[in-house]
């Protein structure tokens, strides 16, 4: 459920890193843009949930409304990766969403909304090395709503597991640094101690036989 907080009147620091426009031209386009970039979404938030939230700032009586929603996708798996683009019919609606929706909660996460220069094909895919967003590539904390550990942290953990496995099995001795530490070897030695010496048994049998015959 969305929770309305104080309007965000300050200028955003969000910028499309691939844009080649200068600051003045960028600002001119943003001043009339009807497209929003929405970030910090849960991977499990649906398009329907997003529509229901952003429809609150739509003005259908003035010919407006939510035109379309483009879900951000992992470049490799084509699954949601925590962002989207929301297109309105008017700039006023987009500006209202930045003012009143950015900073509200959706799926227990505080979402961020920024005016965007406009969606173009290809921008729906994550730019991280693993296919998702760059922020999730570098993240070191665990975030259940965004796939758990960050991609880099997951790679480091997998490398640790492989290293530990290789170290523990090197030389065939496993983790036992000394022969006596091997529980299987100790078991064999214990079994040997418990088995009677065949030679002693034969000697004792001979003694018993001779004693019985005297």
Residue range 23-151, CATH number: 3.30.70.330
Q: What Rg, from alpha-carbon coordinates, does the chain have? A: 34
Q: How far is CA 90 from the centre of its chain?
A: 35
Structure-block tokens of residue 117: 């220069």
- The residue extents of the domains of the chain are 23-151
The 3-state secondary structure of 148-185 reads ECCHHHHHHHHHHHHHHHHHHHHHHCCCCCCHHHCHHH
Per-residue pLDDT of the chain (214 residues; tens, 9 = 90+): 455 444 444 445 556 666 778 899 999 999 999 999 999 999 999 999 999 999 999 999 989 999 999 999 999 999 999 999 999 999 999 999 999 999 999 999 999 999 999 999 999 999 888 888 888 888 888 888 888 876 565 565 666 667 677 777 765 544 445 545 544 455 545 555 545 554 544 444 444 444 444 3
């Amino acid at each position: 459920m969305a929770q309305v907080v104080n309007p965000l009147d300050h200028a955003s620091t969000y910028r499309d890193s691939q844009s080649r426009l200068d600051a003045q031209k960028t600002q001119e386009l943003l001043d009339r843009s009807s497209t929003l970039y929405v970030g910090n979404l849960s991977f499990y938030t649906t398009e329907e949930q997003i529509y229901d939230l952003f429809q609150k700032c739509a003005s259908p009586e003035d010919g407006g409304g939510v035109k379309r929603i483009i879900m951000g996708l992992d470049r490799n798996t084509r699954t949601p990766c925590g962002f989207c683009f929301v297109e309105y019919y008017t700039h006023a609606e987009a500006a209202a969403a930045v003012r009143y929706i950015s900073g509200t909660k959706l799926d227990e996460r505080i979402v961020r909304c920024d005016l965007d220069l406009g969606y173009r094909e290809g921008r729906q895919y994550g730019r991280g090395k693993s296919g998702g967003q760059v922020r999730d590539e570098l993240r070191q904390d665990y975030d259940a709503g965004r796939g758990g550990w960050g991609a880099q942290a997951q790679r480091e953990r997998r490398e640790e597991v492989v290293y530990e496995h290789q170290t523990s099995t090197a030389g065939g001795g496993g983790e036992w640094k000394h022969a006596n530490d091997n529980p299987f070897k100790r078991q064999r030695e214990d079994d040997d101690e418990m088995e009677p010496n065949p030679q002693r048994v034969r000697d004792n049998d001979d003694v018993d036989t001779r004693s019985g015959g005297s």
